[in-house]
C-alpha cells in the first residue's frame, strides 16, 4: 500500500533538485576542503558557495555561518559554547519549558557544571511571554535560548521582543530555528539573534548536515577539539556533499517558501476543519494563530495517540505523536504537559506536519482515515 507522508517536522524527503546536486558532488568533488591542491580547492569552492546560499536564506553574512553535523550539534555549540565562553564564575541561563531536547539537555549539562537555569513556563497557547523572560533575568545571566517555532505545536515565539530584552540586558540570545527555517521568513538581523541553529534534513536536504549562525563578535568556547576548520569554531573535515546539498535546499526554500507556505496553510486548515467537524472530542492543541503553516497538533478524547499513529500507518498514512527525538519514550510529551494538558491529554494527541508535495486529495483521505480509525479504537475500548 503506498503511504502518504505527513511527518515533515520529523524529517523531509530529498527534493529532486537537491538530490541531483548531492549525487553530482559525491561523484565529482571528493577532495578535502582543507587541502591546497586543485581537488581540495574545488571542494573549498563548493563549500563556500553553499555557505553563501545558507547565509542568504537567513539574511546573514557568509562568514557568520558555521557548518555542523545537524541541529542538535548547532544547539549544543550555541548553548554550551556561549555559556562556557562567558566571563564570570556565576552563570545563569534563561530558556523555556517547551524547547527541543537538544537545548534542554544542554542546559541540564550546564547545571551539572554549576550553572543555574531558569525554564520559563508557557500558557495553554504554547507561546513564551517576553515579560516572563525579563522577570527571569539575573545579574549573572549570560544566555537566553528560545526556539523560533515549536516542533510539536508549530507555535511561533516572539523572538524580536525577547531579543530586545536580551539586548537591553547585554545578554547573548540563541534561537533554535530548526523548525522555522524554510517555513517562515527568517532575517537574523531583524530578529536580533546572536546565534541561530539550523538543520538540513528539515529542509529537503540529507540528514547529517546543519549550521549555526554566529553573529560577528559573539564569543564561543569550543565544544569539539581537533583541526582549524570553520574559522576554528567547529573542527573536523567538512562534509562537502552535505554542505552543498544544504546550500541547494536553502536556495530552493528561498524561492518557494512563500508560495509553499500559503498552500500548506490552506491544506492544514482544510484538514482541521474536516476533523473538528466530523470527530467528536477533537480539538487543536496550542494556538491556532501565529504558528507554522504546515503543523497541526490534535487532541482526540478517549483515544491513545500511539495507537492512532499505528492505526493510521496501517491505513497508509504516516503521522506522529510529537517529536521524533522522543518517540518510544514512556513519558508523555514535555511540550504538551507544559501547556497544561496533563498526561492523559498529552497521550491522546498526534501531530500532522505537511510538506511541499502533499495534496488536497491526500489531506481529505487522511481526515477520512482518522475518522475511521478513531471510531474503531473507541469501539475496541468499549468492548475491552
Catalytic sites, residue numbers: 325
Name 170's Cβ contacts closer than 8 Å, sequence gap at least 6.
none
Report CA torsion sign: 197, 201, 204, 209.
positive
Nine-digit cell string for 32: 578535502
- How many other C-beta atoms can be found within 10 angstroms of the C-beta atom of residue 310? 13
DSSP 8-59: TTT--PPPHHHHHHHHHHHHH--S-TT--SHHHHHHHHHHHHHHHHHHHHTT
Is residue 297 within 8 Å of residue 286, measured between CB atoms? yes
Is residue 194 within 8 Å of residue 215, measured between CB atoms? yes
CA distances from 317 to 123, 268, 270 (A): 31, 15, 17
CA distances from 172 to 193, 196, 203, 218 (A): 8, 11, 27, 8
d(CA 149, CA 166): 18
Amino acid at each position: 500500500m503506498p503511504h502518504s507522508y505527513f511527518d515533515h517536522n520529523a524529517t523531509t524527503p530529498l527534493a529532486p533538485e537537491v538530490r541531483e546536486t548531492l549525487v553530482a558532488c559525491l561523484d565529482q568533488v571528493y577532495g578535502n576542503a582543507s587541502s591546497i591542491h586543485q581537488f581540495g580547492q574545488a571542494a573549498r569552492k563548493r563549500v563556500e558557495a553553499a555557505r553563501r546560499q545558507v547565509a542568504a536564506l537567513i539574511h546573514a553574512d557568509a562568514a557568520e555561518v558555521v557548518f555542523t553535523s545537524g541541529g542538535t550539534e548547532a544547539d549544543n555549540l550555541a548553548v554550551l559554547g556561549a555559556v562556557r565562553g562567558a566571563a564570570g564564575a556565576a552563570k545563569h541561563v534563561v530558556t523555556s519549558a517547551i524547547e527541543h531536547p537538544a537545548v534542554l539537555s544542554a542546559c541540564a549539562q550546564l547545571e551539572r557544571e554549576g550553572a543555574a537555569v531558569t525554564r520559563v513556563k508557557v500558557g495553554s497557547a504554547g507561546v513564551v511571554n517576553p515579560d516572563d523572560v525579563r522577570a527571569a533575568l539575573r545579574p549573572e545571566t549570560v544566555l537566553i535560548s528560545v526556539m523560533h517555532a515549536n516542533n510539536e505545536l508549530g507555535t511561533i515565539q516572539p523572538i524580536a521582543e525577547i531579543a530586545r530584552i536580551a539586548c537591553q540586558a547585554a545578554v547573548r540570545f540563541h534561537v533554535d530555528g530548526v523548525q522555522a527555517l524554510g517555513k517562515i521568513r527568517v532575517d537574523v538581523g531583524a530578529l536580533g539573534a546572536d546565534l541561530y541553529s539550523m538543520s538540513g534534513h528539515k529542509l529537503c536536504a540529507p540528514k547529517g548536515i546543519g549550521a549555526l549562525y554566529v553573529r560577528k563578535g559573539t564569543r564561543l568556547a569550543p565544544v569539539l577539539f581537533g583541526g582549524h576548520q570553520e574559522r576554528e569554531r567547529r573542527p573536523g573535515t567538512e562534509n562537502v556533499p552535505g554542505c552543498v546539498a544544504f546550500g541547494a535546499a536553502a536556495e530552493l526554500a528561498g524561492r518557494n517558501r512563500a508560495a509553499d507556505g500559503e498552500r500548506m496553510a490552506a491544506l492544514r486548515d482544510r484538514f482541521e476543519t474536516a476533523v473538528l467537524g466530523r470527530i467528536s472530542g477533537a480539538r487543536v492543541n496550542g494556538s491556532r494563530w501565529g504558528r507554522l503553516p504546515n503543523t497541526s497538533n490534535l487532541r482526540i478524547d478517549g483515544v491513545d495517540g500511539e495507537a492512532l499513529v499505528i492505526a493510521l500507518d496501517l491505513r497508509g498514512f504516516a503521522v506522529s505523536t510529537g517529536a521524533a527525538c522522543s518517540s518510544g519514550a514512556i513519558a508523555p510529551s514535555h511540550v504538551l504537559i507544559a501547556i497544561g494538558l496533563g498526561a492523559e491529554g498529552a497521550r491522546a494527541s498526534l501531530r500532522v506536519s505537511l510538506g511541499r508535495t502533499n495534496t488536497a486529495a491526500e489531506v481529505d483521505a487522511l481526515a477520512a482515515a482518522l475518522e475511521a480509525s478513531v471510531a474503531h479504537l473507541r469501539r475496541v475500548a468499549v468492548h475491552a
